[in-house]
Structure 1
Amino acid sequence: MTNLWKPEIFQGRNKKRDYFEGWYFKSIDKEEKTAYSIIPGISLSKDSKKSHAFIMVLDAKNHKMYYFTYKTTDFWADKSKFEIKIHKNTFSLKNIHLDIDDGKNKIKADLEFSNIIPWPVKLLSPGVMGWYAFVPKMECYHGVLSFDHSIQGYVDIDGDKRDFNRGKGYAEKDWGKSMPSSWIWMQTNHFEEDGISLFGSIAKIPWLKNYFTGYIFGLLYNNKIYRFTKYNGTKICKLIVNDDKIEVKLENKKSILEINAKRTEGVDLPAPSLGEMTSRVNESLNSKININFYAKNNGKKEFIFSGTGRNAGLEFVGDINELLNGFRK
């Protein structure tokens, strides 16, 4: 139970099958010419022969994806803090070290992270999922480990060495049985002003032989995280998804957030289903997200901020009608 208040650490110590856990590190260089997502994790299948640890690397600018598999015995996780090792590779909230050579591709990296800003963890709300984190046997759990952080270091893929000094990063994770059958995900921390970051997710949540649509959005602005979530009473007033854009309007008692995200071509990544990495999700790190942020004061809407987030991660999977119908449940 104590692990609930440490969403960043490995949660699956007693799991043997039908389980996955993955950490997502997004890194953008200072000049915004290079965008990598590095995703370590473990996949535990009903068929033990299919179980494996993995490291995924997405080169978003060049639309390339690398997927490296390892034995589950090559996976190690600290019991009390977030530190994992997969063969010669190590991951924590402070750094990543990669030393990969599968005979076809060689990837080496040393990245140091500082000024990390996580989603706050409180006694009755242990992270981004709020009180839902206490609900057992949910299909998928989520954690936001860093809205924004600074990077020092490099990544070298097959001799192409990229400098990440003074770059910017973001980190999150998922764990459970499967990713939802339908979801929207978005993230950006490259606005005109430094220190602004947006994360958002809308998903189909199975519940008591039925389902509902859950949503979690967080806006880091002026050193404060503004939360727009189902569990804090936020309503989704608008949701439009088509081939070109995703529009969302969220409103609660204190604030209004309007989002207009432009969809761009992405790369297909493996995703978990019943622990196995057999699904696919198309992810772009080249999207743009326009936001308008307002405060509510005595029933009046007061403008706070408007801007465009660059190098945005954006995903849409499944059926928009499932998500819309889920609001009515």
Structure 2
Amino acid sequence: RGYIEKDWGRSFPEAWVWMQSSNFDHAGTSFMLSIATIPWLGKSFTGCLCAFLCKGELHRFTTYKGVRIKRVDTSVDRIAVELKQREFTIHVDARKTSGAQLISPVQGSMSGKIDESLTSEIRLKVNEGSTLLFEGTGTNSGLEAVGKLKLKD
């Protein structure tokens, strides 16, 4: 159980939410969520990549698997997200704490700044139909929220 990522390109997206935690009360539980405005062929779309590991089973919620982003609300210190994929629903309520400034690429130059917290809290609820699969809180979680995500109506 762990988390690693790699980013490619000259710039980060214009807007995104990213969060990750492996520090839940339920041993062996991990959660990662990234929602971003993805540039594609001169246009853009809002894409989602989410992984939830619980009781040894990895659940993937992704744009290419048909996830629907029902809600993304961001403020200075809170992020609320609701995802739906087939019979699964994920509710996220994250509390962002202060973080550190990281340098990020902007048009190939490392001139951007991102505030990333590593002490945030992620409250997570996952349902399969009407059955509650998981409910818990991840502490000491990584969290970033940059720009304003636009969802289709």
Alignment TM-score, normalising by the size of structure 1: 0.45
Structure 1's unaligned 5+ residue stretches are 1-147, 150-169
Partner of 1:314: 143
- Aligned counterparts, 1:196-215, within 5 A: 196-215=29-48
Tell me if 1:172 matches 2:5.
Answer: yes
Deviation per CA, 1:99-153, whole angstroms, max 9, x where unpaired?
Answer: xxxxxxxxxxxxxxxxxxxxxxxxxxxxxxxxxxxxxxxxxxxxxxxxx24xxxx
Output the aligned Cα RMSD.
1.3
Deviation per CA, 1:144-189, whole angstroms, max 9, x where unpaired?
Answer: xxxx24xxxxxxxxxxxxxxxxxxxx32211122111111100000
Tell me if 1:289 matches 2:117.
Answer: no
Partner of 2:81: 248
Partner of 1:226: 59
* CA-CA distance at 1:310 after TM superposition: 0.7
Structure 1 segments, 4+ long, off by >4 Å, are none
Q: Matches of 2:8 and 2:45 in 1, distance apart? A: 19
* CA-CA distance at 1:256 after TM superposition: 1.0
SS of the residue corresponding to residue 14 of structure 2 reads coil
Partner of 2:96: 263
1:308 partner amino acid: T
Check whether the contact 2:48–2:67 (CA below 8 A) recurs between aligned residues.
no
Say which structure, 1 or 2, has more relative contact order (CA 8 Å, 6+ apart).
2
* CA-CA distance at 1:244 after TM superposition: 2.3
Q: How many residues align?
A: 153
Structure 2's unaligned 5+ residue stretches are none
**Seq. identity, %:** 39
The higher radius of gyration belongs to 1
2:20 partner amino acid: Q
- Aligned counterparts, 1:30-179, within 5 A: 148-149=1-2, 170-179=3-12
Alignment TM-score, normalising by the size of structure 2: 0.94
Q: Matches of 2:54 and 2:5 in 1, distance apart? A: 19
Q: Matches of 1:225 and 1:275 in 2, distance apart? A: 35
Of Structure 1 and Structure 2, which has the larger fraction of its residues in strand?
A: 2
Q: Matches of 1:244 and 1:275 in 2, distance apart? A: 29
